[in-house]
A and B are shown apart, each in its own frame.
Chain A
Amino acid sequence: MKTASALNTYLKETGGWVAAQLEACTRCGICAEACHFYQALGNPEYAPVWKLEPLRRAYEQRFTLAGKVKLALGMEKRLTDSDLEHWSQIVYEACTVCDKCAFVCPMGIEIGPLIHKVRTGLAAAGLVPGDLAEATDKQKTIGSPLGVTDEMWRERIDWITDEWEATIPVDKAGAETLMVFTSIELMKFPDNLALIAKILNKAGENWTVSSRGREVVNFGFFEADEELTKLFMHRVFQAAEELGVKRLVISECGHAYEAFRWTAPNIMKVPEGLEIIHITELIHQYWKTGRIKIKEGAFDGETITFHDSCKIQRLGGLIKQPREILQVLAPTSFKEMTPNKEQSMCCGGGGGVISIKEADSNRYKVFEMKLEQLQDIGAQAVCMVCSNCRLQFVDSLAHFNSAVKVHSLAELVARALI
């Protein structure tokens, strides 16, 4: 039964785009060496190409002559419920959909988006790991994966307003810019919310947050359930339309940026003329155009590095913006980790992995590699533009008793405002 739902989804999702890439794979195994889960844990099943196995089998057995022959000869088996349960662990607990594999594949196969499709089938089969499914359900019913209710949200915004003396306009009709934050920021890094508000106010932005579209995180996208992905974005788009804003700014969250900026127009209706950008772009714009001024060398002294988030840098292209700002903030003590930019290694917490308790040991093991990269350059602080990465860094650095400090870019900019 589960298998039937998954198979139907795979067949529905299989267009030329999927098929051409599955056909191109030569099974050379090079992608394995790009995968931080394979590198850290050594399990051959974590090779990115192996994560595509359910999709490949469904496609070949249904669409190709060779696949049908192999099936008839017993050289290959039909997918079963237990196969899918097995792959659920592999693609949700040992993959952050960071897509680094696509950048090393000699054939250029977009393995990340294909793994996303594997997840879509598993979600249809109801085989999402419990913790992830639970958080998604909370987002569906309560409006936030962390279970923040409308009332809690208002209280929290009020508290942040008082605590940091930040002005945060709520549901302001006629605002130009709608700023949408993550529950992670709201609950775990409230300072980030306050400091972003400070930057927007300093730049004289006509902005607002919305009580209806208050969650930018998209757990439907982690699960790869398309209906939920759309529902969660729809809430924000609806708010944007009601408030009549021209611009939607995604807070420091990678998956949300991927969903809103690069996915939404292809799967749903986006309000006409609505510009969708990431907070990093906005801050960079403000600084470039002189709407905000930052103190040069404000954080010079201790060695600081930048962690590239998969969805914002490797896949979002916002590579030079944060670096230009960091060069100003710490002209002499800013240092690059290796590898970096498009080739950087994922923190290990993305793609929903950090919300799954069973994946904790994987996550820490992967982070050991990140820690080594930090230690190699003697980093005392690390800066990033994704709250999900930040959560992984804060949690894992504590786990390994490391003293490296974790900052968001918005936080550094806000503290250096003149």
Chain B
Amino acid sequence: MDWTEILRFSRGPLFHFSLVIFIAGMTYRLVRIIFLGWEKDRVKSQGSKLSGVIISYLKGLIILPFIPWVRRTFKNNALTFIAGGLFHLSLFLVLIFGEAHILVWQSLFGVSWAPMPNPIVDWVAAAGIVSLIILLINRLTHPVLRLLTRLPAWINWTMVFLPFVTGYIMYHHLWFPYEVIFSLHLIFVCLLLIWIPFSRMSHFLFYFFSRTIHGARAGKRAVTP
């Protein structure tokens, strides 16, 4: 089997198989959580749950040092916030506005949109890769993170790092023949998709539960989340 064939396999059957696992896995996890049962809250509210939820999401999205109610949180964890925030930003921008990725979205959903200029996406991707390396070093050295981190977390890191770095190499046509690096990029993306439902990377879904719960609870008690 040559690389052209591997490429055809990984962008075709493998990719679709991974998508199915990803969607089925996440659906299973979502449904399971919902059916674990939710107790009814009978406590009288003091403030507005809705406004609490709105502030909770705003806070979750824009943790910036100049916002008074998150300033301290930011200051005490500057590295995690800057590197973590930059990584997520980079991930979304590259995934949604990268020219090549838009083609993938188009093939899946039939819609497309204007890409970001390639040099910008390039810098954003580089920032994402650097952030990941910084986060890895932090995880290797911070005493709390060392205590918390087990094998799955290292796998998580690797699973995210590989698609990022292979995509970057591919864009710059470095070292590998195009078919090889393209295939590797796709294979790593597929591995990531399959891995997500089995790992804490599924937090992208449960984020909406926890932020809503926190916002509603704080709003109910008339405090800023």
* A interface with B by C-beta (< 8 Å): 14-17, 19-21, 23-30, 32-34, 38, 42, 44-45, 47, 49-50, 63, 65-66, 70, 75-76, 102-110, 261-263, 265-266, 313-317, 319, 339, 341-343
Cβ distance A66 to chain B, nearest Cβ, rounded Å: 5
Complex Cα gap A262–B220 (Å): 10
- Interface flag for B36 (CB, 8 Å): yes
Other-chain residue from B44, B63, B146 in contact with A44 (beta carbon distance below 8 A): B146
Instruction: Other than A16-B37, A44-B143, give 19 A-B pairs with Cβ distance below 8 A.
Output: A15-B39, A20-B213, A23-B29, A24-B206, A29-B80, A33-B76, A33-B77, A63-B36, A104-B76, A104-B77, A105-B210, A107-B60, A107-B206, A108-B215, A108-B225, A110-B210, A314-B223, A317-B222, A319-B222
The digit string for B24-44, where 1 denotes a CB below 8 A from any CB of A, is 000001001111111101111
For A319, the chain B residues whose CB sits under 8 A away are 222-223
The digit string for B47-89, where 1 denotes a CB below 8 A from any CB of A, is 1000000001001100100000100110011001100100000
For A261, the chain B residues whose CB sits under 8 A away are 43
Given known A-B contacts A15-B37, A44-B143, A342-B69, A110 and B153 have beta carbons under 8 A apart: no
Q: In chain B, what residue has the closest Cβ to A65?
A: B198
A28–B80 touching, CB < 8 Å: yes
Cβ distance A164 to chain B, nearest Cβ, rounded Å: 33
Complex Cα gap A98–B49 (Å): 21
Q: In chain B, what residue has the closest Cβ to A42?
A: B143
Complex Cα gap A316–B218 (Å): 9
- Interface flag for B151 (CB, 8 Å): yes
A15–B36 touching, CB < 8 Å: yes
For B144, the chain A residues whose CB sits under 8 A away are 29, 32, 38, 44, 47, 50
Other-chain residue from B36, B60, B218 in contact with A16 (beta carbon distance below 8 A): B36
Complex Cα gap A343–B206 (Å): 25
Cβ distance B147 to chain A, nearest Cβ, rounded Å: 5
A30–B223 touching, CB < 8 Å: no
For B34, the chain A residues whose CB sits under 8 A away are 16
B33–A34 touching, CB < 8 Å: no
B56–A27 touching, CB < 8 Å: no
5 nearest CB pairs, A to B: A108-B214, A317-B222, A24-B206, A20-B209, A33-B76
A17–B146 touching, CB < 8 Å: no
